[in-house]
């Protein structure tokens, strides 16, 4: 059982990092008027395990803070995965 917890925590850390990076990349692309990461993809990353990183990315990069679905859904995803991490650790 311990091996599964380690793998699950690793997965959540990697996806959180991906969420953080994707929010930063999309913000940078928005500033430079380049091709953007679809909102659907950003939310998918958040709900597949990257909720904490995506939420932190939204706050750090001040990105998608005026979009109601991000303001509501990313904190929910972050809390869910924080609870899961606490349970696993």
The pLDDT tens digits for 5-48 are: 899 999 999 999 999 999 999 999 999 999 999 999 999 999 99
Residue 6 makes CB contacts below 8 A (sequence gap 6+) with none
The pLDDT of 57-62, averaged and rounded, is: 97
Question: Is 74 within 8 Å of 41 (Cβ atoms)?
Answer: no
Tokens of 75: 């904190």
Instruction: Give the model's pLDDT for residue 89.
Output: 83
The pLDDT of 51-77, averaged and rounded, is: 96
Cα atoms in the 13 Å half-sphere on the side-chain side of 78:
17
**What pTM does this model have?**
0.91
Average pLDDT for the chain: 95
Question: Is 17 within 8 Å of 24 (Cβ atoms)?
Answer: no
Instruction: Give the model's pLDDT for residue 1.
Output: 59
| Domain locations along the chain | 2-88
């Amino acid at each position: 059982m311990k091996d599964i917890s380690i793998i699950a925590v690793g997965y959540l850390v990697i996806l959180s990092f991906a969420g953080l990076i994707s929010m930063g990349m999309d913000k940078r692309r928005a500033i430079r008027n380049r091709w953007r990461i679809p909102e659907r993809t950003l939310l998918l990353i958040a709900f597949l395990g990257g909720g904490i990183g995506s939420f932190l990315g939204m706050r750090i990069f001040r990105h998608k803070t005026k979009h109601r679905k991000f303001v509501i859904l990313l904190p929910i995803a972050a809390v869910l995965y924080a609870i899961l991490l606490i349970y696993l650790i």
